Amino acid sequence: MNIRVIALDLEGTLISNAHSQIPRPGLRRFLESCKALVGRVVMFTTVDEPRFRRIASQLVKERRAPHWFAEIEYIARDGETKNLALIPECQAEEALLVDDYEIYVHPGQEAQWIKAPYFDAPYPADDKGLGITLNMIFEKVLPTRPLGQIQLAFAKMMDHFGHILPEDDVAQRRRGRIGDPEDGDYGYGDSVYYLFGQDDRGEYLDFYMLHRIAGDTHGRIREDGSYEGLDVISPFGPVRSSDPEEDARLRAKDQAEVNRIRSMLEAKGFPSCY
């Protein structure tokens, strides 16, 4: 059954606790990725709703969480566990519970539990827990979707940037673009252009990522999830020679290669930084 809802714990998963309220590294990107993945993200915490709302509003104010987090749907517990059947208009099998503590998993819903690594003191700034958790969510959600192995491989490659293929684009095999060239990672901008194709080996996704620090990445992901690196224009220019004739030959060879790659990218509708 397709996963339609992700239910999130708060303390020890997204933040330290309701007292110190230290946001976990990567929180905003994690929340945005969950939202992009399933659309419906709910809060399922032992922290009462008024207190949670205050915490959420502060996280949004500090830009540690996206704006919608302050108004996220809140699920009230009924008993000692977090029963996913309490989520309105959702069967338990259509939801995942992301929680660091097994005691809150409702009996019979163990298969719906994503065990988040516990965010514990001294709350390191290089904590990778949300990245690990997101990859576990990807493994649970994406393989059941159309071209699921392509979606999974792409999401894992792009997890640092928070990019996920829009489900409608995949279903309709529609080209598109993700990211913001004026913002993106570390404020230096990143965007990914992609299109779908098919050859004698089956369906594939071609993508081209532009990044002002990391440079361009051009690749193909096949329907079994395998990856092939494709040509990009080198930012370093041609090999130089102290011999004028050899130097001219190397420059001409490099320019021919640049023209070849640029023509290929233009045919796909992919821009290049170079």
Instruction: Kindly list the structural domains of the chain, giving each domain's residue range(s) and its CATH number in brackets, ordered by start.
Output: 5-144 (3.40.50.1000), 150-268 (no CATH)
pLDDT in tens, the chain (274 residues): 789 999 999 999 999 999 999 999 999 999 999 998 999 999 999 999 999 999 999 999 999 999 999 999 999 999 999 999 999 999 999 999 999 999 999 999 999 999 999 999 999 999 999 999 999 999 999 998 999 999 999 999 988 777 899 888 999 999 999 886 555 444 344 789 999 999 999 999 999 998 767 678 999 999 999 999 999 888 777 778 888 888 888 888 888 988 999 999 999 999 876 6
Q: Tell me if residue 26 falls in helix, strand or coil.
A: coil
**What sections of 142-221 are H helices per DSSP?**
148-157, 167-171
In the chain, alpha helices (H): 27-38, 49-61, 129-141, 148-157, 167-171, 244-268
With H, G, I as helix, E, B as strand and everything else as coil, classify residue 129. helix
Instruction: For the beta carbon of residue 230, count every other beta carbon within 10 angstroms.
Output: 17
Q: What is the pTM of this model?
A: 0.80
Cβ neighbours, 10 Å, residue 194? 25
